[in-house]
Amino acid sequence: MRLNLDGKTALVTGSTQGIGAAIAAGLARAGARVAVNGRSERGVEEAAERLRGEVEGAQVVPVAADVASEEGAASVVAQLSNVDILVNNLGIFGATPPLEITDEEWRRYFEVNVLAAVRLTRAYLPAMMTRGWGRVQYIASDSAIVIPAEMIQYGMSKTALLGVSRGFAKAAAGSGVTVNAVIAGPTHTGGVEEFVYQLVDRDLPWDEAQREFMRRHRPQSLLQRLIEPEEIANMVVYLSSAQASATTGGAVRVDGGYVDSIVP
């Protein structure tokens, strides 16, 4: 299957590392012009340079701004007026005992993980609908459905994204624009490595620590390993393509069989 995104411009938020960087690389390989986003100008420039080195001929636009703020979102729109593919990847996570989650932390998770995506969708969706083509995606999580006891503030924010995605899909109905959420399962990133070591013995070698984490905290995974970021990116690239034109309003799973359900 040839996924051709030539002539399309994609914005991937939080794309200087991890899943976001893998998504940016996947979209660039398919021919899209990709805007790499992060808070630090230096970090964004370095990520853009890595992407150019990784993907021959990649068209990369560095867009430094904190999209979790109104000012940052406005800055992104000012720097990048036209977007065909919006991938709302930015997110934070961490383990906190449920009864110790403060009001401030609840608000922070909503602002970063949910409202940042809402703002950018609000900014870019109308023009996509006018043009009759566009793709909006939200990187959700298995935690949206199987709320982890150690980070319910994160689970709450990802559940909210499923509602946001379905709602905006209805707003775009009949326009040629598709809107979907991608339910990513436990994925191997630098941040997740640190999270794993919060929950298992730090003296364990990584391979053993990963297996112990999956055994104790994610035993329902059918993959029985962490997912690699490129595996999430493959789904995002497909949903960004013309071949996915009839997939909208969905919660598409790339979860390694973690969610124990036969329907999304």
Q: What is the mean pLDDT of each run of 10 residues along the chain (264 residues)?
A: 94 97 98 98 98 98 98 98 98 94 98 98 98 98 93 97 98 98 93 87 92 90 92 98 98 95 80
Of 16, 14, 186, give the one whose Cα is nearest residue 87: 14
pLDDT at 194: 87
pLDDT at 261: 86
Annotated catalytic residue, options 109, 124, 154, 258: 154
pLDDT at 262: 85
Of 172, 171, 169, 140, give the one whose Cα is nearest residue 157: 140
pLDDT at 192: 83
**Under CATH, which architecture does the 9-187+230-253 domain have?**
3-Layer(aba) Sandwich (3.40)
72 phi/psi in degrees, rounded to 5: -65, -40
For this structure, is 258 an active site residue? Answer: no
Question: 139 and 182 in contact (C-beta within 8 Å)?
Answer: yes
Q: What is the pTM assigned to this prediction?
A: 0.94
Domain boundaries, the chain: 9-187+230-253, 189-226
End-to-end CA distance of the chain: 24
Neighbours of 242 (CB within 10 A): 11
pLDDT at 34: 98
